[in-house]
Amino acid sequence: MSELSGRTTIVVGASRGLGHGIATAFAEAGAPVVAVARTAAEFAVPANGSGTIQQEVADAGDATVAAGLIDRHQPQTIVLVAGAIPHMLPLQEQTWETFSVNWESDVRIAFHWLRAALLAPLPPGSRVVVVSSGAAMNPTGSPLSGGYAGAKAAQRFITGYAQGEAKQAGLDITFTTVMPRFAPETGVGEAAVAAYAAKSGMSVPDFLRAQGPLLNPEIAGAAMVELAQADAAELAPAYMLFGKGLKELP
Ligand SMILES: NC(=O)c1ccc[n+]([C@@H]2O[C@H](COP(=O)([O-])OP(=O)(O)OC[C@H]3O[C@@H](n4cnc5c(N)ncnc54)[C@H](OP(=O)(O)O)[C@@H]3O)[C@@H](O)[C@H]2O)c1
């Protein structure tokens, strides 16, 4: 188990949703946290540990932001959670602009931050976790979310590319993809649940009952802290994240 109190953790996309829960959990586990989003947020004072939360208001998709924040804060852990809420429409009702929104946000953010982590480079022993989506594992993708499932699959691919480049360069940096299932309380999950419940002719509560234990920001936070504290040698390249926790993917 690694100690988090000496490891600055940047959480990208921390103002709301899963990222807010993840930033809070790292701070409660004792980490100095840098919470990045385009808007400032309220955070409770960390309850159980000596961690802190410092906010950075920035567009994480801006080409210069990742390198600048890595240089300023010297993180040893980076968790990329930020992403756009997809336009929940069938294919024929999308425009290219609505279809590509997650490519222009989620993939762009992963591209700039993974690149910056390699170029800095982050110090030996560092961890980078990219939050993709369980939608990228569905054989049929996510038919009501435009380019979402493909964008989230691309995030998993480029996280693997970053791991390959790190190994080849002898950098001791671990890159991991986490693929959550529905978290209905947060922005992306709320929109998806409403659309898929309507498509199946179910009420939202009935639809959610059929999903089993549901993910929320607290569970996501605990799972990310668990990953950051695990021995790097024991980490898988990718995990699914359910309401009952992480499940390793081959
Ligand atoms: N919720 C689910 O069911 C679910 C399932 C699978 C995967 N995921 C993935 O999990 C992640 C979080 O989802 P969520 O439901 O928690 O989303 P959310 O509630 O909509 O929160 C998204 C967060 O990302 C930030 N963000 C977005 N664009 C940004 C940018 N350009 N720069 C900086 N911050 C940015 C937002 O802050 P600002 O708007 O203030 O910038 C916000 O803090 C997403 O990548 C999503 O695809 C979610």
Q: In the chain, what are the domain boundaries? A: 9-182+214-249
Question: Quick one: which of 117, 177, 179 has its CA closest to 148?
Answer: 179
Is the CB of residue 37 below 6 angstroms from any atom belonging to ligand 1?
A: yes
Residue with tokens 């964008």: 151
Between the CA of 108 and the centroid of ligand 1 the distance, in Å, is: 13
| Kind plus residue range of the DSSP H or E element containing 131 | strand 126-131
DSSP lists the bridge partners of residue 173 as 126
In this prediction, residue 136 carries a pLDDT of 98
In this prediction, residue 2 carries a pLDDT of 56
Is the CB of residue 221 below 6 angstroms from any atom belonging to ligand 1?
A: no
What amino acid occupies position 88?
M
DSSP 23-83: HHHHHHTT-EEEEEESS----PPPSSSS-EEEEEE--TTSTTHHHHHHHHH--SEEEE---
Kindly report, residue by residue over 145-190, the tens digit of the pLDDT. Answer: 999 999 999 999 999 999 999 999 999 999 999 999 999 999 999 9
Between the CA of 218 and the centroid of ligand 1 the distance, in Å, is: 15
Work out which ligand 1 atom sits closest to the CA atom of 135: 6
| 9-182+214-249: CATH topology | Rossmann fold (3.40.50)
Is the CB of residue 56 below 6 angstroms from any atom belonging to ligand 1?
A: no
Ranges of the chain with pLDDT below 70: 1-2, 47-49
In this prediction, residue 1 carries a pLDDT of 42
In this prediction, residue 49 carries a pLDDT of 63
Nearest CA to ligand 1 atom 15: 188
State pTM to two decimals.
0.97
pLDDT, averaged across the chain: 96
Q: Which one of 65, 81, 103, 132 would you pick to mutate in the ligand 1 pocket, going by the greatest count of ligand atoms within 8 A of its CB?
A: 81
**What is residue 120's three-state secondary structure?**
coil
Phi/psi zone of residue 81: left (φ > 0), alpha (ψ -120 to 50 degrees), beta? alpha
